[in-house]
Structure 1
Amino acid sequence: MTLSRAGLFHLVVVYLVWSSTYLAFKIGISNGFEPFWMGATRFIPAALLLLGFAVWQRWRVRLSWAEAGMLALSGVVLWLGGNGLILIATQYVPSGYVALMISTAPIWAAILEGLLNRKRPPGLLIIGLLIGLLGILALNVPKLNAGSPTNLLAFALLFISPLLWASGTIYTQRKSPQLQAVVISGYQQLFAGLGFLLLSPLLGEAWHTPTLAGWAANLYLIVFGSLIAYTSYIFAVRLLPLSLVTTYAYVNPVIALLLGWLFLREPLGIWTVAGAALVLLGVGLVFRSRMKSVVQTTPQP
């Protein structure tokens, strides 16, 4: 089968840009942004740009109350919960570690879908889950040994974050309204951005003026993370096999780990390398199990 060159181009964009967002998180947080203040200043402008584009395209943007409630709930779980916890944890741990912990989202998605469908999980999925959890343990051996409260907090937040992201993704897939993908994403990010804006002062965040590097990191997240990479992801899904597109879940953490080491001199110890290998192997086995399940249940012509 010949793969679309345009599709491969967009997949490379997803690989590189989404991998680099963890580096941008770290730069922004380290240069004057409080976590939720950074979330608000990223997601509200990105949402308005997406919805403005939808209006220009004359797509339906008016929501019913039921649609607004669904998009508010999914946006809060995905972005305010999943991404907000990442921003808090990024204050305390390296960006590569954050990316590796978040890469477990497909494992949690497989577990949740199995519970919702009330089906016994395949053996390969169970093996992938156990290997992935072993990788999480290996990643956290140095941090747990140190016993630092901030390390323990970061571990807890990054354990919960991919679970929230998986939950929000499944909810969006099952309850998604009949709207363009750009409209759905725009509203999800808008509701999340408003949540960030509301919670930031309630949590006592000081709205300091970030440095130029902090604003540059946030602008990068708006333009490249929320707009360009998202659009490339949509094109990649349309032009390439889904099994190929979903490889971003275990390519991104590797690139993020290397970017953190290259630009921020984040350490790459033996436990990090071993944990990374186990987490990515676990995620890969989960993907393989799910693709085999799809093939076995697809009617033959």
Structure 2
Amino acid sequence: MNPFLAIIIANVIMGVTAPIMKMGLTEIPPFILAFIRFASASLLIAPFVVSRWQPLAKKDWALLLLAGISGIGLHIGFFFLGLQRTQSIVAPVIASSGPVILYAIALFFLREKFNLKKFYGMIISLGGIMTIVLAPLILNGTVVHHQQSIGNLLLFVATIFGVLHAFFIKKLSGKVGALQISLVVFVSGALCFLPFTFGEMQSWSIEEVTARGWFALLFGIFFVSLGAYTLIHYALNKINASDVGMFAYMDPVVALLVAWPLLGEKPDIFYFIGSLLVFGGIYLAEGRLHWHPFHKLKDSF
């Protein structure tokens, strides 16, 4: 498959994911939903991977485990906890700040050369994120709106771990097949959720799940975990991470088109202001953001 087609399909699925997962979280606790989703996906792809298993060096095992912990355990964990508390339409906008987070990591931790235009772009985009995060408190200081701000902040933390996931996967470019990457990442991520499911099981019963909850769970297993994640892992093996990230800007539009009729979520003025600042900052920085400092990671392990 053409890797660009793969990443377009993956991002359409990802755009739909936030509102559908929020719908599922009204009936299934976050860690139970996450564990079932990734454990089921692992079992489904395992037969296709075992027969074609490629031996892995210790360094590659470490990268895959780090990708699973950051990209599944921490990213999805914070993502679900954030979705429980805020509107699903803000999730893709916050996630779109990934390139700016990447520059911040490169600047402060990978000793990337300082670039004034990129720095201004980072500040503008972060201003957009803060506008979205703090908007509920500005609109209304109630407990509900405090929870929305906390949810927005959790989504931002999830985005940071999502960027780290891409770092680790890109380090394996050309070494390991997409399905094998997905299997190890899914299993390690699912194990991160397992301890938290025991507490949730005490106050939850599968009998509470309606057709909406089952649809969200099955969508997460087949379309997101098996479909989108594997397509992203495939694309990261074929093209630059900057090219992969470029298509993430489709997600907010897709999410809005789904969340409005499905959940009744409507954007407010702060959503538009924050989105303009996020994408304006990215546009300013991306005058030269074809770099993505993955080459600097090669010597860091």
User: What TM-score bracket applies, with the shorter chain setting the length?
Assistant: 0.7 to 0.9
Counterpart for residue 18 of structure 2: 22
Check if 1:35 corresponds to 2:30: yes
Counterpart for residue 152 of structure 1: 149
Aligned counterparts of 1:162 and 1:95: Cα–Cα separation in 2 = 14
Aligned counterparts of 2:167 and 2:188: Cα–Cα separation in 1 = 18
Aligned counterparts of 1:214 and 1:278: Cα–Cα separation in 2 = 35
Counterpart for residue 298 of structure 1: none
1:34-65 C-alpha deviation (Å, 9 max, x unpaired): 00100001011112223322224x232x6566
Counterpart for residue 122 of structure 2: 129
Kindly state the Cα deviation for residue 162 of structure 1 after the two structures are TM-superposed. Answer: 1.2
- Please tell me whether the aligned partners of residues 81 and 161 of structure 1 are also in contact (alpha carbons under 8 angstroms): yes
1:82-119 C-alpha deviation (Å, 9 max, x unpaired): 11111011111111012222222221122112333312
- Please tell me whether the aligned partners of residues 118 and 284 of structure 2 are also in contact (alpha carbons under 8 angstroms): yes
Question: Do the aligned partners of residues 225 and 284 (structure 1) sit closer, same or farther apart at CA in structure 2, a change above 3 Å counting?
Answer: farther
- Please tell me whether the aligned partners of residues 110 and 286 of structure 1 are also in contact (alpha carbons under 8 angstroms): no
CA RMSD of aligned residues (A): 2.9
**Counterparts of 1:38-77 in structure 2 under 5 Å?**
38-56=33-51, 58-60=52-54, 67-77=60-70
Length-normalised TM-score, structure 1: 0.83
Aligned counterparts of 2:75 and 2:13: Cα–Cα separation in 1 = 18
Counterpart for residue 215 of structure 1: 214
**Counterparts of 1:266-285 in structure 2 under 5 Å?**
266-285=265-284
**Counterparts of 1:1-301 in structure 2 under 5 Å?**
6=2, 9-30=5-26, 32-56=27-51, 58-60=52-54, 67-145=60-138, 146-147=140-141, 148=143, 149-174=146-171, 178-202=175-199, 206-209=203-206, 210-233=209-232, 244-291=243-290
Aligned counterparts of 2:186 and 2:174: Cα–Cα separation in 1 = 16
Question: Do the aligned partners of residues 135 and 82 (structure 1) sit closer, same or farther apart at CA in structure 2, a change above 3 Å counting?
Answer: same
Question: Do the aligned partners of residues 44 and 63 (structure 1) sit closer, same or farther apart at CA in structure 2, a change above 3 Å counting?
Answer: farther
Kindly state the Cα deviation for residue 244 of structure 1 after the two structures are TM-superposed. Answer: 4.7
Question: Do the aligned partners of residues 240 and 191 (structure 1) sit closer, same or farther apart at CA in structure 2, a change above 3 Å counting?
Answer: closer
Aligned counterparts of 1:88 and 1:80: Cα–Cα separation in 2 = 12
Aligned counterparts of 2:28 and 2:260: Cα–Cα separation in 1 = 22
Aligned counterparts of 1:47 and 1:288: Cα–Cα separation in 2 = 40
Length-normalised TM-score, structure 2: 0.83
1:144-191 C-alpha deviation (Å, 9 max, x unpaired): 223333123213312211112222332443478942232122111111
Question: Do the aligned partners of residues 286 and 73 (structure 1) sit closer, same or farther apart at CA in structure 2, a change above 3 Å counting?
Answer: same
Listed as ranges, the gaps of 5+ residues in structure 1 are 295-301
- Please tell me whether the aligned partners of residues 99 and 257 of structure 1 are also in contact (alpha carbons under 8 angstroms): no
